[in-house]
Amino acid sequence: MGESTLLTIIMPLAIGVIMLGLGLSLTIDDFTRIIKYPKAVIVGFLSQFLILPVICLFVAKAYQLSPELAVGLMLLAASPGGATANLYSHLFNGDVALNITLTAVSSILALITLPIIVNLSLMFFMGESQYISIQFGKTLQVFAVVLIPVFIGMIIHKKRPSISAIMEKPVKISSAILLALVIIAVVIQNIDNMKNYFQEVGLAALSFNLLSLCVGYFLSRWLKITKRQAIAISMEVGIHNGTLAIFIAISLLNNETMAIPAAIYSLIMFFTAAAFGYFVNLRKEEVIQKV
């Protein structure tokens, strides 16, 4: 994967810029907003950290994925929501404030949940003979790359809001470009096997993506959560931080094949999330509420 380029330059840079962009839009209120609407936040977190891994496990087994691809899909399920969810929520009348809260808090909670879910997946799919755990120390190193840019962005937003406003758009554009470069690098490195990978994990990734979006939305609506919040939750649990999943697969697990599901998912989710957002907005059963 052009390790000297990807791991030391593109990957950390991509994650750093993406998380800096998130930090530029955050305030302390985004972390305390849990108190304002706890029900929606709890449903979002349960969907993200409990329901999705279980669904992903059944998807991996149903499609009979190879152990490495199955672990890669589980790694994606364990990754927090991506900042892109905020944009999609805005485009399709979701509660963006809820998205920001879920993204911010889940990025921190994943420091605990992600190693647990991935280690269990490694043991389940790879077996003890091939099991290599994600060590807590290495996880801290990865999340330092994630959290430090967030805090820097928050400081800039608080201390220099005018600079934050100027930086926000260029950082978002840079994030999109770097994410594209990461996906391209993964595809190029595995170009000889990409057709087989798409055949093996493409439908599984698509199924998991659609199930994630549906669970986030319809579970929320079933629990009487407002439509705007349900849209926000569906985007949050359906649009994952694929860059982080790829980074962990390569840098912590030293396995490029495990990065393939995240790369394919990242290509799919932008189209499916847009189609899903359009679909749920066709449903006129209630007047959109402001929260």
Q: Is 52 among the domain residues?
A: yes
- Of residues 18 and 120, which shows the higher confidence score? 120
pTM for the full predicted model: 0.79
The domain in which residue 108 lies consists of 3-280
Q: Is 285 among the domain residues?
A: no
Q: Is 286 among the domain residues?
A: no
Gap between the Cα atoms of 30 and 86, Å rounded: 13
Q: Is a pLDDT exceeding 50 seen at residue 63?
A: yes
Residues 15, 77, 173: CA angle, nearest 5 degrees: 30
Q: Is 276 among the domain residues?
A: yes
* Overall average pLDDT of the 251-258 stretch: 83
- Ordered alpha helix ranges (H), 122-193: 136-159, 161-189
Q: Is a pLDDT exceeding 70 seen at residue 141?
A: no
In single-letter form, the type of residue at position 173 comes to I
Q: How many domains does the chain have?
A: 1
Q: Is 287 among the domain residues?
A: no
Nearest CA to 88 out of 209, 290, 236, 263 is that of 236
- Spatial contact of 9 and 2, defined as CB atoms under 8 Å apart: no
Q: Is 211 among the domain residues?
A: yes
Q: Is 142 among the domain residues?
A: yes
Q: Is 76 among the domain residues?
A: yes
Predicted local confidence at residue 130, as pLDDT: 54
Gap between the Cα atoms of 214 and 140, Å rounded: 32
Predicted local confidence at residue 285, as pLDDT: 52
At 64, phi and psi to the nearest 5? 50, 50
* Overall average pLDDT of the 119-135 stretch: 72
> Any idea what the CATH number is for the domain that residue 185 is in?
1.20.1530.20
Predicted local confidence at residue 289, as pLDDT: 42
